[in-house]
Amino acid sequence: GQCVTVCPVGALTEVSEVDKVWQALEDENQHVVVQTAPSIQATMGEPFGMEPGTVVTGKLATALNQLGFDRVFSTDFAADLTIMEEGSELLARLEDKESNTPQITSCCPGWVKFCEHNYPELLDNLSTAKSPMSMFSPLAKTYYAETKDLEAEDIYTVSIMPCTAKKFEKERGELQDSGTQDTDAVLTTRELARMIKEAGIKFAELEDTEYDRMMGEATGAGTIFGTTGGVMEAALRTVYEKLTDEELPRLDLDEVRGLKGVKETAVEIGNDTVKVAVAHGLGNAADLLDQVKAGEANYDFIEVMACPAGCVGGGGQPYPASKEIKAKRGQGLYNIDQSDKIRKSHENPEIKKLYEDFLGAPLSEKAHHLLHTNYQKRDKN
């Protein structure tokens, strides 16, 4: 499949966990919590005959409820949290001239592993903020578990993801911060489509329902994580406002949208100019990073996604997936953002409550323990 060419770990780890998830759903002693990645809401309609890019967020919630998940939550919520932590980290790096810049995003496991193998000298530039999936799961087993009087072991966490590289990410030893396995199972979009079919659910005909509250509220910023440039755009909306106390003059950052291999722009923030670049596809990323290493490119913040077009082009997404189809999926996510009342991560009311009730502040000790990680040099092969 496509993932073999774009993500260096997919071939090794493509083991279906569908059976394990069915078992967990049937086990009365397991409290099963599911999260869905941002891109899925613009791709899940395709296996059921719907047009690529059709927004199916409400149908997804209904289908997951019908499958028997105890809580239906959203990775977009955790994407907002990633922006809070990663944005705060960027602010700290911009202030400290001695620190490693550019800061480079680390939410894509295909890219992180590629970096560990091929650019170990840039590992200190990777954001220590975990990916949204890997922030969500330890919170489900601590923050959410406490409200239900449950232990971490009583909760079974399932992630619906666009790629098989997420199956590798969940096994990383440094990502077990809840005291137990943080993410129990990862299913791709195609695998969830299979489960929905097996259950006889007519997806295209479902009514819309809402995601559950507490870890289910998403902003437009969290949603556009699923397409190339989205993390950058979401981060700048928040960083700009934190630095200037004013809203970014244009929330739509067109310069980092679209399918050009490497995109760049500069944003005036107060008296400073923050230079950013976005690469999707590992070939484009390598070109950009070679320039950074050679001192030919000078950026403050770089977003890298391993898959062409970002997660809407992930190896676990429905077939077929031409460039046009990926563009339509990306547009579906921008349409959600455009119609959302809340389009900035720091305005997500559930994120505010999480900090008030549990984490304290971005980069707090608790946030560091549960939401940040580190990377390791790996042999080239």
For the annotated catalytic residues, the residue numbers are 86, 89, 107, 127, 166, 169, 174, 311
Per-residue binding string, ligand SF4, 156-195, x by CB under 6 A, is: ------xx-x------------------------------
CB of 309 to ligand SF4, least distance (A): 8
101 phi, psi to nearest 5 deg: -125, 155
Terminal-to-terminal C-alpha distance of the chain: 20
Q: Are 122 and 115 in contact (CB under 8 A)?
A: yes
Considering the complex, state which of residue 11 and residue 266 has its C-beta at the smaller distance from ligand SF4.
Answer: 11
Please tell me the distance from the alpha carbon of residue 349 to that of residue 108, in angstroms, as a whole number.
26
How many Å apart are CA 43 and CA 57, to the nearest integer?
Answer: 10
Specify whether the CB–CB gap between 157 and 118 falls below 8 A: no
Minimum CB–partner distance for residue 307 and ligand SF4 (Å) = 3
Binding piece for ligand SF4, criterion CB under 6 A, among 28-36, 40-48, 307-315, 319-327 = 307-315
C-beta of 311 vs 351, nearer to ligand SF4 = 311
- Judged by phi (left if over 0) then psi (alpha if -120 to 50, else beta), residue 179 lies in left
Q: What track of x and - describes contact with ligand SF4 for positions 82 through 111 (by CB under 6 A)?
A: --------------------------xxx-
Is 224 a binder of ligand SF4 (CB under 6 A)? no
Residues β-bridged to residue 33: 71, 157
> Please, which residue, 162 or 318, has the CB nearer to ligand SF4?
162
Is 372 within 8 Å of 130 (Cβ atoms)?
yes
**How many residues of this chain bind ligand SF4 (CB under 6 A)?**
13
Distances (CA, A) of 356 to 256, 348, 351, 353: 33, 13, 9, 5
d(C-alpha 274, C-alpha 303), whole Å = 14
Token code pair at residue 169: 């990410």
Return the number of other C-beta atoms located less than 10 Å from residue 198's C-beta: 11
Identify which range of 151-159, 310-318, 348-356, 364-372 contacts ligand SF4 by CB under 6 A. Answer: 310-318
Residue from 155, 311, 354, 370 touching ligand SF4 (CB under 6 A): that is 311
Q: Closest distance between ligand SF4 and the C-beta of residue 278, in Å?
A: 12
**Interaction site with ligand SF4 (CB under 6 A):** 7, 108-110, 162-163, 165, 305-307, 310-311, 314
